[in-house]
Structure 1
Amino acid sequence: MAVMQVLAIDLGIGALPALDLSREPAEPGSAQRPRPSTQRDGFSRAVSVERSP
């Protein structure tokens, strides 16, 4: 199988779920909810807990 064929198959496989999600209706009130905090995410919190003595 040629590289271009593999890339075309990969693109097709990735595009199908994206098209399906684009057709899904938005949740009611999702635009009015506050954004999640960007100060600290769960990963950095878990790492800081592990490193504390």
Structure 2
Amino acid sequence: MLLLVLVFGGAFALGRTVGPVAPGLRPATGGTPGTGHPGGGMPGHAAGAAR
């Protein structure tokens, strides 16, 4: 358990020192999660298609 805490603490300290990986990177806005394609499904798959 102590080793886990030390590794996590070291990674956290290193991350704070280095800074953000991609400055200005922001989450995408707009739209509804899970509906990235027309019809809300997977591309190339029709809703209710026969199997």
Assess same fold via TM > 0.5: no
Q: Which has the higher contact order (CA 8 A, sep 6+)?
A: 2
Q: Kindly name which structure, 1 or 2, has the bigger radius of gyration based on alpha carbons.
A: 2
TM-score tier by shorter-chain length is: 0.3 to 0.5
TM-score for both structures, normalised by structure 2: 0.40
TM-score for both structures, normalised by structure 1: 0.39
Greater share of helix residues, 1 or 2? 1
